[in-house]
């Protein structure tokens, strides 16, 4: 059965990556949203497990950004994923970039839905075969007043 699914390709995306996702370490939440020409996806940091810098007690900033003038911008709401386009042949969002504020580097990336609530996020340099995959989980919306 796997061969038939692979040979036939994906005619349409099965699950949507739009929404808020928790990284596999549980340290950040990233909101995936439509951007650019509305046919692309981007992502921004919307939650940090430790939002304050331990030395200054102020909100964390993008202090490792290679562009000096951007090092004081807050990490919250920072766009970390850009310009992903859907490829129906591979049934994934690809040809984008992902920025890692922990080291100040930007990588090529793609997103691939594993299931409705689980997504592979792969960052790489050069070829996608060489890189690192992370698996993010969808953050369920909280009902107001729920504990």
Mean pLDDT over the full length of the chain = 88
Q: Which long-range contacts (CB under 8 A, 24 or more apart) does 44-52 make?
A: 44/77, 44/78, 44/79, 44/80, 44/81, 45/75, 45/76, 45/77, 45/78, 45/80, 45/101, 46/20, 46/76, 46/77, 47/20, 47/76, 48/75, 48/76, 51/75, 51/76
pLDDT single digits (tens) 66-121: 999 999 999 999 999 999 999 999 999 999 999 999 999 999 999 999 999 999 99
| CATH 2.40.128.520 describes domain 13-137 | yes
pLDDT score at 115: 96
Query: Domain boundaries in the chain?
Result: 13-137
* CA–CA separation, 90 and 77 (whole Å): 30
């Amino acid at each position: 059965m796997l061969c038939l699914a692979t040979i036939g390709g994906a005619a349409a995306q099965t699950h949507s990556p739009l929404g808020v996702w928790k990284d596999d370490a549980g340290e950040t939440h990233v909101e995936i949203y439509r951007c650019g020409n509305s046919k692309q996806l981007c992502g921004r940091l919307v939650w940090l497990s430790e939002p304050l810098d331990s030395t200054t007690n102020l909100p964390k900033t993008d202090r490792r950004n290679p562009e000096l003038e951007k090092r004081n911008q807050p990490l919250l709401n920072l766009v970390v994923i850009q310009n992903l386009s859907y490829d129906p042949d591979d049934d994934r969002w690809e040809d984008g970039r992902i920025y890692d504020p922990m080291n100040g580097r930007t990588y090529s990336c793609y997103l691939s839905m594993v299931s409705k609530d689980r997504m592979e996020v792969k960052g790489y340099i050069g070829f996608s075969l060489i890189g690192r995959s992370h698996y993010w989980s969808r953050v369920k919306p909280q009902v107001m007043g729920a504990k």
